[in-house]
Amino acid sequence: DLIDGHKLLAYPVVENWNGEVRLRVRVGDNGGPGGAGERWSVSNEFCIRVLPVNDLPEVGDDALPYLEGVEDSVVKVLDM
């Protein structure tokens, strides 16, 4: 998306997405005085690369299972 005609290009991505996108752009205008010039630029290609992020794990408000009558029961967080 071009933002308010200010020469800014926004490329929205889905949350937690990572990867690479190649974009090819061309710029057009009225062709200069009298409209006699070239209306389109040569196309240019560039790459947007979003690197993966190692987010910290999140633990929700889930109730932790436990065994009644068993001392020192252990619940592994990775099993949740």
Q: Render pLDDT for 10-35 as a digit per residue (tens, 0 to 9).
A: 778 788 889 998 988 887 877 777 77
Amino acid at 57: P
Pick from 74, 21, 18: nearest CA to 10: 21
48 Rama sector, left if φ>0, alpha if ψ -120 to 50, beta otherwise:
beta
| Total count of residues recorded for the chain | 80
Query: What is the pTM (predicted TM-score) of this model?
Result: 0.45
Q: What is the largest CA-CA distance in the chain?
A: 90
DSSP 33: G
